[in-house]
Chain A
Amino acid sequence: MNKVFNRGNAAGIITVIVLLLLWQVIAMWKQTVYVPPVSTIFLTFLKEWFSPTFGQQAVPSLYRMAVGYFFASLIGIAIGIVIGSFKRIYQLLDPVLQFWRAIPATAIIPVGILLIGIGDQMKMVVICFGAMWPILINTADGARLVPTERLDTARIFGLTPIETLLRVILPSATPMIAAGMRTGLSIAFIMIVVSEMIGSTDGLGYYILQAQRTFAIPEMYGGILLLAILGYLLNTGFVWAEHKVLAWHYGQTARPV
C-alpha cells in the first residue's frame, strides 16, 4: 500500500518543492507573460476552480468521461471474454482487432464529428472507442490464459458453458481486466481533453484552449494543473479500489508458491 500512495516519501516531496521554487525564481527573474510565477498560477487556480466554473467546465468533462469509460469497460469486457473463451472467434477476429486498435484513438475524432456532430454523444463515443481497446485486448488475453486444469475442473463438476464463463473464466481474468481498465482510464482522460479542444463549447479541454487563445495565461496553467490533480486522483482511486477488489490476486503474487 505504501507504493500506491507514496506515503512518507520525503525525498519525492523535496523534489516537488525544489522544482516549484525553481519555476517561481526563473519566472520572477525573466518576467515573461507566457510563464507566470507559480504563486500567480496557484492564486488563479483557487479563484477559478472554487467557483461555479468548476460546475460549468470540469463537471461536463467528468460526466462525459464517466459515461464513455463505463461503456468502454462494459463492451470491452463482454467482447473480450467471448473472444478469449472461444478459439474460433479469436482466430476470426484477431487480425481485424490488431489492425483496428493500431489506429491512434484521437484520429477517430474527425469521424465522430462527421457522423455524430460535436455534442456530448460524440465525446462519449470517442472516449468509449479509445478506452475500449486495452480493456478488450487484456480481457481476451486474460480469458485465453485460464489454466486448462481450471476449465477441466469446471467441466468435471458439470458447469454449463455460460456458468464456466461467468464463474470461472471471468474471475480468472479479473487481474488482466483491471490492468486493461487502468490503461483505458488514462486513454479516456486523453480523449476527453482532445475531443473538447476540437469540437466543444464547454469542458476542461475547451477551457484550456480558450484560455490560451484569449491570453488568459494563468488560467491556462490553472486548467492544466486541475487536469493533473484530477488524473492523479482518478488513478490513485483506481489503484486503491483494484487492491481492495483483487486482494486475492495481490496476496497470491506477493508470495510465490
Chain B
Amino acid sequence: MSNPSEILLDVNGLQKRYADGTLAVQEITLNVRAREFVSIVGPSGCGKTTLLKTICALLAPTKGSVKLHGTLITEPPPQMVLVFQDYARSLFPWLTVTGNVMFPLRKRKDMTQAEKETASQRAIEAVGLTKFAKHYPWQLSGGMQQRVAIARAVAFRPEILLLDEPFASVDALTRADLEDLTLQLRDEFGITMLLVTHDIDEAVYLSDRVFVLSTPPSTVLEEIPILLSQPRDQVATRSEPGFLQLRNHIHGLIGKKKEDNSKRFILDSPIPRSVELEGDPVS
C-alpha cells in the first residue's frame, strides 16, 4: 500500500480540444495523494466528464500529462477505475450482481479463482448487497445498481477510483447513504478517491481537498483544503460552522466567475454551448 503523503496522481497542464475545435478543458493542474479524497466541483457542463475521461486515458489529451506514481499514462491503467453516473448503461444487464462484479476479475492473471471469488464476495458485502448477489441489476433500485457498479470497481482492487457524478441519479436519502459508503470504502480498502460533482455540499462533505473549476473552457479557479473533523457525519459535519463557510465560499467562486466568463464568451465565440453538449452529455 502506498505511503499516505505520496503524490499518487499528478495532472499537469491538461488540455482537451475535440476534433471539431471545441475546447472543453483549457488547462487543469491538480494532484491527488494516496488515500486522499479529492473532489473536482464546477458548474454543469464545465467539461467534468471529459476531464475524468482524459485523466484515465479514455481520451487522449491535446496538451499536458497525467502521471500515476510518476509514470505517464497513455492507456487506461489497471490501478485506476472509473465509475459512471449512468449505472444502467455501464452495468451488464445479462449478468447477475455477482456476474457483474466477477466480470473484470477474469482479466486478473495475478489472482486465483478462489481469490477472485473472495474478492467479489467481499466487495458485494462491503456495499451491502450480499442478499442480492444472485439478482440481476434491473431487479434492483437505482441506488442499489450504483452500489453494484461500485462493488465491481472495488473488487478489481484499484488504487484510485474516479467517480463521475455517481450519485446524481438517485434520491437524496440514497445519495447520503452512497456518500458515506464511499468514505467507508476508502477506509476499508485504502482506495484513493477522485470525485467529480456539481454538488458543492457533497464535495465539501466528502473531501480532504476540493478543486473548483470555472465554466468552460475550464481551468482550476482555486484549490481548497477541507479541514473539517474526521470521521465525517451527515448531520454533525454539515452543521459545523466551517462547513457553511466553505460551501458559501465555493458558491461565491462559481457564481462570480460564471458572470465574468459569460461576458468574455460573448466577445470571443459561441463555444460554451457546444462544450456543454460535447463535454458533459449525461447532465
Mark A residues whose CB is within 8 Å of B: 147-150, 152-153, 155-159, 167-168, 171-172, 174, 248-249, 251-252, 255, 257
Contacts and interface: CB of A to CB of B under 8 A. Distances in A.
A228 to B, nearest CB: 35
Interface string B41-74: 0000000000001001010000000000000000
Given A153-B84, A157-B156, 20 more contacts: A148-B89, A150-B92, A152-B53, A152-B84, A152-B90, A153-B82, A153-B90, A156-B76, A156-B81, A156-B82, A157-B103, A157-B104, A158-B78, A158-B104, A167-B103, A171-B92, A174-B94, A249-B93, A252-B138, A257-B142
Q: Per DSSP, are chain A's interface residues mostly helix, strand or loop, or mixed? A: helix
A257 B88 contact: yes
Contacts of B90: 147, 149-150, 152-153
Contact of B93 (A157, A158, A159, A252): A252
25 contacts: A147-B89, A147-B90, A149-B86, A149-B89, A149-B90, A150-B90, A152-B53, A152-B58, A152-B82, A152-B90, A155-B76, A156-B76, A156-B82, A157-B104, A157-B156, A158-B104, A167-B103, A171-B92, A171-B94, A248-B136, A248-B138, A249-B94, A251-B136, A251-B139, A255-B138
A150 B76 contact: no
A168 B136 contact: no
Contacts of B131: none
Contacts of B138: 248, 251-252, 255, 257
B107 interface: yes
Q: Give the dominant DSSP class at B's interface.
A: mixed
Interface of B: 53, 56, 58, 76, 78, 80-82, 84, 86, 88-90, 92-94, 103-104, 107, 136, 138-139, 142, 145, 156
A167 to B, nearest CB: 8
B237 to A, nearest CB: 31
A121 to B, nearest CB: 37
Nearest to A253: B138
Contacts of B81: 156-157
A156 B56 contact: yes
Contacts of B104: 157-158
A158 B76 contact: yes
A81 to B, nearest CB: 16
Nearest to B142: A257
Contacts of B56: 156
B147 to A, nearest CB: 15
Contact of B58 (A155, A172, A249, A251): A155
A145 B164 CA distance: 22
Contacts of A158: 76, 78, 104, 107
Contacts of B82: 152-153, 156
A174 B53 CA distance: 28
Given A252-B93, A257-B142, A159 B136 contact: no
Contacts of A248: 93-94, 136, 138
A252 B92 CA distance: 11
B158 to A, nearest CB: 9
Contact of B89 (A150, A167, A249): A150
B90 to A, nearest CB: 4
A149 B78 CA distance: 17
Nearest to B282: A149
A248 B99 CA distance: 13
A13 B92 CA distance: 41
Contacts of B88: 257
Contacts of A252: 93, 136, 138
Contacts of A167: 103
A148 B59 CA distance: 13
A180 to B, nearest CB: 18
Contacts of A147: 86, 89-90
B175 to A, nearest CB: 17
A172 B76 CA distance: 22
